[in-house]
Amino acid sequence: MNLKNITLLIISIAISACSVGSEEIDNDNTPDSYQSAVFSPEAQYKTHQVAAFVEPTDQANLSFQVSGVIEKQLVAIGEQVDSGQELFKISNPSLEPQIQQFQSQIEAIEATLQQNNAEVNRVQDLKRTNAISQNELDRLTHQRENLLATKKSVEAQLEQAQSLYDETYLKAPFAGSVAEIFKEAGEVISPGEVVMLLGGVSSLEAPLFLPSFLHQNISFGQQLTVSYQDHEMFATVTEISLSANPKSQLFKVMIEVPIEHGIKSGEKITVIIKELMGDYYRLPIESVIDDGINQPFVFLIDNGQVIQARIKLIDIEDDEIIVELPHQGKIEVVTQGQVKLSPGQKLG
């Protein structure tokens, strides 16, 4: 066979091969060349990410109950303290002299009482021999009762003064961490003026401020996924406000955050909240036909017939679309090959 005949044979084989491939593509263009799947309406959720900042569950603004000048600052911001530990010391020149005055009064009353008791004993002995009148004994007895009452009153005043003096030391009501310090040594403060903020170290919480459509998806004790840096953990809903803030129209929700992965007070977390949208169909986005003129629709297959069904768009997530259809239960939806079909078409 010469070169010319070989060349013609190769061309003939190539033409034959191309002819076969073209027939297979034509077969793909038949009316039955579509793909479909069965879908059912299910509860659909939209995921929201809400930022929040953790804070100690036990948190207290600490202040002195007496006025004075801050004499000593015994802690620094970030320092861990124990329950009952002294944090600040103030000086109040009027408190110590009061204590000394009441103590002196009590000592004087006790001395007078000793004399009174001795007089009462002496008069009682004289009374047995009728050497002294009953009036004198009654006078001394009444004097003793007055002295005892006065002593009790002064002791109460001393106790109150001592209590106020003890207030010159600011002590930690619980174990925690010093979050903020608002006053320094040398400053004059009034009773009730906040000196520092103490946060507990045993547990953490975070306030969320949610619009009503998310608030209604929250329940007491619910577990929410929390993202902290590259970690995930679960937080528990502990408080739910039933009324919104009049200005922001947001509802406050408190969650208990576990102390994990080195999380500390003041750090940011992201809380995942799923919003229940309702029972809808979730379809592949390529199943929806939208020509920009008519309302978007899908093709359904019902008893071998193509049906055009309009959809109501609810949401789009990645390559899926959540829609409302005028149908209930399972439906067969055309997912590919819609261009080869038409409404009312019978499929063989």
Q: Interhelix angle for 134-166 vs 95-128, to 10°? A: 160
- Cβ atoms within 10 Å, residue 314: 16
Contact 150, 48 (CB under 8 A): no
Give the start-to-end residue ranges of the domains of the chain: 48-56+201-277, 59-92+168-200, 95-166
Q: Specify the higher pLDDT residue, 342 or 163.
A: 342
Mean per-residue pLDDT, 146-159: 83
Task: Provide long-range contacts, Cβ within 8 A and 24+ apart, for 144-149.
Answer: 144/113, 144/116, 144/117, 144/120, 147/109, 147/112, 147/113, 147/116, 148/113
pLDDT digits (tens, 9 = 90+) for 303-314: 999 999 999 999
Check pLDDT > 80 for residue 202. Answer: no
Residue 173, CA distances (Å) to 36, 160, 164, 287, 288 in order: 68, 20, 17, 64, 63
Residue 160, SS3 per DSSP: helix
DSSP symbol at 201: S
Where do we find the tokens 């809903």? Answer: 237
Looking at residue 95, its pLDDT comes to: 66
Residue 285, CA distances (Å) to 43, 281, 298, 312, 333 in order: 18, 12, 10, 13, 12
Looking at residue 16, its pLDDT comes to: 32
Q: Could you please report the per-residue DSSP string of 275-308?
A: EEEEEEEEEEGGG-B--SSSPPEEEEEETTEEEE
Looking at residue 20, its pLDDT comes to: 29
Mean per-residue pLDDT, 214-238: 95
Tell me the pTM: 0.53
Contact 224, 235 (CB under 8 A): yes
| Interacting residues of 225 by C-beta distance below 8 A, sequence separation 6+ | 232, 233, 234, 271, 272
Selection from 247, 292, 263, 237 nearest residue 53 by Cα: 263
> pLDDT-based confidence at 27, cuts 50/70/90?
very low
As a CATH number, domain 48-56+201-277 is 2.40.30.170
pLDDT digits (tens, 9 = 90+) for 13-22: 232 333 322 2
Check pLDDT > 60 for residue 210. Answer: yes
Q: At 89, phi and psi to the nearest 5?
A: -135, 130
Rounded CA separation 167/90 (Å): 9
> pLDDT-based confidence at 115, cuts 50/70/90?
confident
Query: Which of 134-138, 240-244, 256-260 shows the lowest mean pLDDT across its residues?
Result: 134-138
At the topology level of CATH, where does 59-92+168-200 sit?
OB fold (Dihydrolipoamide Acetyltransferase, E2P) (2.40.50)
Q: What is the mean pLDDT of the chain?
A: 83
Rounded CA separation 119/131 (Å): 14
